[in-house]
Amino acid sequence: MIARRHLVALLLTGVLTAAAACQAEDDGPAARSGQPAPSAARAFTLVASGDVIPHTSVIERARADSGGSGYDFRPMFEGVRALVSGADLALCHMETVYGANGAYSGHPVFRSPPEIADALAATGYDGCSTASEHSLDDGADGVRRTLDALDGVGVRHAGTARNEAEGNGITFLRAGPAQVAHLAYTHDTGGTPVPPDRPWIVGRTDENRIIADAKAARRAGADVVVVSLHWGTEWQNAPDQQQTALARALTASRTDGRPDIDLILGTHAHVPQPYEKVNGTWVVYGMGDQIAGEMFRDGVPDPRGNLSSLARFTFTKPARPGGRWEVTKAAFYPLQFDIDAGRVVDLDRALVQGADVRGVRDRIRDVVLSRGAAKNGLTTD
């Protein structure tokens, strides 16, 4: 007799296979929503997803998926590839640094196989935030290896740096007709001190610094400024006081009446957190863990640590020069990392295919919408 947990895992694996077979019929987010794709001359879509944390079990799964030679993380992302690759701009959060020569490890000190960068590129990610509490797990060498690997596959990055010029620079990405600046910061470095001779190696959360960087990005030509923040209280679905206070301060900052920041994307808490429009700007307090091994809270397994949401925002060009690119559509997709199958599952699609995931999907929805985002237009397509 197959245990229920493994039965669900097998069913979800089948769902992913069916989704891959149907991919030619699904042209991405616009096809999923039944809405026409926005005009490339007037708008662009941005998607963002939660923490990628290759625990030991995740590394072992990638080893098995490669056939025992090397590491192949691509199958893990297959369930969201259409959503990610269908966007004009796709951002991930790479929480860990990369190791070398097979010296890989999971919790508590992470050194991930660099092959995960290949999977991010193959899935369709254009850039990733890399500022996190694990950014310094392997010192400057870990940062260098990680950014070198991402550069090697054409995935941009923001939040950590190999040198001072990079640390003080701004990451720009093209999204259809728009120039997007991506800034990233972390609230701490997991107890590892920032080297005094390399203060620029990782972006630290500081309200004044973030606002100054956003203003600099705008002066440098950014049409849209996106800020990724590794923040919040672990295992807490509701944003904490520091999150809400910083969100208010950042979204209130303006230059000549125009907001300096156009979108805030949060990570770190391990569980989904709400979306909310603050001072007219969308804030995703926490997307949860997109990829992680079995998660434990105080030594007890907590399945919430494998739940997340994928955010999608459509930005539309202003009618007048110098105006704000407005979010004209906001949507989210509930996701689960099936630790048995080793795959990210789009729960909406799994439900359509017959998997018994309604309860999990609805729990994510309840959290995401818990601060009134639905009345501001957030949908689930």
What is the value of pTM for the model shown? Answer: 0.90
Query: Are the C-beta atoms of 371 and 278 separated by less than 8 Å?
Result: no
> What is the Cβ-side half-sphere exposure of residue 345, based on CA atoms within 13 angstroms?
29
Q: Is 206 helix (H, G, I), strand (E, B) or coil?
A: coil
Give me the tens of pLDDT residue by residue for the chain, a chain 381 residues long: 223 233 233 334 343 333 333 333 333 333 333 333 444 469 999 999 999 999 999 999 999 999 988 999 999 999 999 999 999 999 999 999 999 999 999 999 999 999 999 999 999 999 999 999 999 999 999 999 999 999 999 999 999 999 999 999 999 999 999 999 999 999 999 999 999 999 999 999 999 999 999 999 999 999 999 999 999 999 999 999 999 999 999 999 999 999 999 999 999 999 999 999 999 999 999 999 999 999 999 999 999 999 999 999 999 999 998 899 999 999 999 999 999 999 999 999 999 899 999 999 999 999 999 999 999 999 997
In the chain, where are the structural domains located?
A: 4-379
Closest by alpha carbon to 239, among 206, 210, 274? 274
Tell me how crowded residue 264 is: count the other CB atoms within 10 A of its CB.
Answer: 24
In angstroms and rounded to an integer, the radius of gyration of the C-alpha atoms of the chain is: 19
Is the C-alpha dihedral spanning 203, 142, 87, 220 positive or negative?
positive
User: In which region does residue 139 sit, left (phi positive, over 0), alpha (psi from -120 to 50) or beta (all else)?
Assistant: left
Please work out, in degrees rounded to the nearest 5, the angle formed at the alpha carbon of residue 94 by the alpha carbons of 90 and 97: 150
Q: Is 335 helix (H, G, I), strand (E, B) or coil?
A: strand
Find out if CATH 3.60.21.10 is the number for domain 4-379. yes
Q: At which residue do the structure tokens 């919040």 appear?
A: 232
